[in-house]
Amino acid sequence: MRTPRSRALFERATRSLPGGSTRTTVYGAPYPPYLVEGDGLRVRDADGNEYRDFLGNYTALILGHAHPAVVAAVTAQVRRGSAFGAPTEVEVELAEELCRRMPSLERLRFTASGTEATMFALRAARAFTGRDLVARFERAYHGTHDVAMAGTPGVPLALRGSVVELPWGDPEGVARALAGRERDVAAIIIEPVQGAGGIRAAEPAFLAYLRELADRSGALLIFDEIISFRVGPGGVQERVGVRPDLTTLGKIIGGGYPLAAFGGRAAVMEQFDARRGGGLSHGGTYNGAPVAAAAGLATLGELTPPRYVELDRRGARLREAVARGFSAGSGGSRIEGVASLFQVWAGGSAVAPAGREPSEFWLGLLLDGFYLAPRGMGALATPATDRDVDELAAAILRRARVGETIPA
Ligand SMILES: Cc1ncc(COP(=O)(O)O)c(C=O)c1O
């Protein structure tokens, strides 16, 4: 009743977009609110309802909406030109800043999306090792290219044999899954904090085990830090002290604009060096696009060490408040997460985004003026205050339904 314009927009959208949507993850039954503007933590929908945004375009908007530094950088760049068929200085500056923050990035390349970043990282690993097999984890999400989606409709069946799925956090299970095939593995790719699979952080010891395994077997270790880069200035790899061969980045490095990257060991990345014959081709009309690079650079410029400490503290504050409430009697509901990332497992929320069934939890939070992913995932942005976090915790506890089956 509060969203007639969103409903009308959705019905109109179904006539030009399948299911009324152009992005699987932003659909929530019966229809999502259409957002028209955002400022800091606040977003407004087409009917004028206001929400506090604890999703931030699926963790990309770590400074919130329309941060003045980002708007200024983007506006200045747009005036100079949106993109050229030529490299620009701003892409070099962003590359240097990323290499400075993450020493494992000896060289990197920009892409327009995280999907392309993991696709090229895996391709680079296969070309470098001369092997085909990719090892990835159960519940992993690395985007939508064929290898990342092997085993789903429309992806060649043959690709199934090029991907092996590993159990999470279980060295013995990993060894069993790879038995006899260790030397066929081109890359072991892992999200150090799983995102779409429900926010869960890998144990540092498990990441160290994967490092050893990769060294022993000659595979490359790839950290997909597209979401987890936001946990600290140098991502999870800095926090746990494990150095991958390649890393993929996205989300916050574009400051809210489409930009992602893959990079790592110079020897691997030099396959893309156009000055060498026979290397890997990596075109892309919007690779390192200057508007997005300017936004990313401005965003990283705001992300000083104390900012991360504050995000960590507020994330912990939220999780502790919700966990306290859940332990006081909300059935099997629980909250997980790390740093500024969280995932609520409540009645009606599931690993897969809500399909036909509306999630009462998600809709209840919308009614309370909180915007999260339909599947119960969220992320804090720097404009969120202690009060915002406390009020979100109270709403989560109020809206989580008791006694439903919670996925393991
Ligand atoms: C860990 C991870 N890898 C890859 C991707 C794909 O990135 P994009 O949506 O920019 O293609 C995502 C997106 O959510 C992600 O979370």
pLDDT tens digit at each of 408 positions of the chain: 999 999 999 999 999 999 999 999 899 999 999 999 999 999 999 999 999 999 999 999 999 999 999 999 999 999 999 999 999 999 999 999 999 999 999 999 999 999 999 999 999 999 999 999 999 999 999 999 999 999 999 999 999 999 999 999 999 999 999 999 999 999 999 999 999 999 999 999 999 999 999 999 999 999 999 999 999 999 999 999 999 999 999 999 999 999 999 999 999 999 999 999 889 999 999 999 999 999 999 999 999 999 999 999 999 999 999 999 988 765 678 999 999 999 999 854 444 444 567 788 999 999 999 999 999 999 999 999 999 999 999 999 999 864 343 343
Give distance in angstroms: CA of 310 to centre of ligand 1: 25
- Ligand 1: residue whose CA is nearest its atom 13: 143
Q: What is the pLDDT of residue 328?
A: 73
Exposure string (b/e) for 79-106, b if CB count within 10 Å is 16 or more?
A: eeeebeeeebebbeebbeebeebbebbe
Q: What is the pLDDT of residue 8?
A: 98
Q: What is the pLDDT of residue 349?
A: 47
Q: What CA–CA distance (Å, rounded) separates 52 from 384? A: 9
Give distance in angstroms: CA of 116 to centre of ligand 1: 9
Which active-site residues does the annotation give? 141, 224, 251
Q: What is the pLDDT of residue 327?
A: 84
- Ligand 1: residue whose CA is nearest its atom 9: 114
Q: What CA–CA distance (Å, rounded) separates 292 from 19? A: 29
Q: What is the pLDDT of residue 404?
A: 43
- Of 168, 174, 170, 212, nearest to 190 by C-alpha is 168
Q: What is the pLDDT of residue 347?
A: 59
Q: What is the pLDDT of residue 195?
A: 95
Q: What is the pLDDT of residue 348?
A: 43
- Atom number, ligand 1, closest to the C-alpha of residue 116: 11
Is the minimum distance from the CB of 225 to ligand 1 under 6 angstroms?
Answer: no
CA distances from 314 to 235, 303, 362 (A): 18, 15, 21
Q: What is the pLDDT of residue 400?
A: 87
> Whose structure tokens read 């160290």?
208
Is the minimum distance from the CB of 58 to ligand 1 under 6 angstroms?
Answer: yes
Q: What is the pLDDT of residue 353?
A: 46
Is the minimum distance from the CB of 379 to ligand 1 under 6 angstroms?
Answer: no
> Whose structure tokens read 């400074």?
63
Q: What CA–CA distance (Å, rounded) separates 389 from 378? A: 12
DSSP code, position 3: -
The answer for 49, left when phi > 0, alpha when psi is -120 to 50, beta otherwise, is beta
**Helices marked H in 133-273 — which ranges?**
171-178, 204-217, 235-240, 266-269
Q: What is the pLDDT of residue 251?
A: 98
Give distance in angstroms: CA of 176 to centre of ligand 1: 28
- Of 203, 277, 279, nearest to 241 by C-alpha is 203
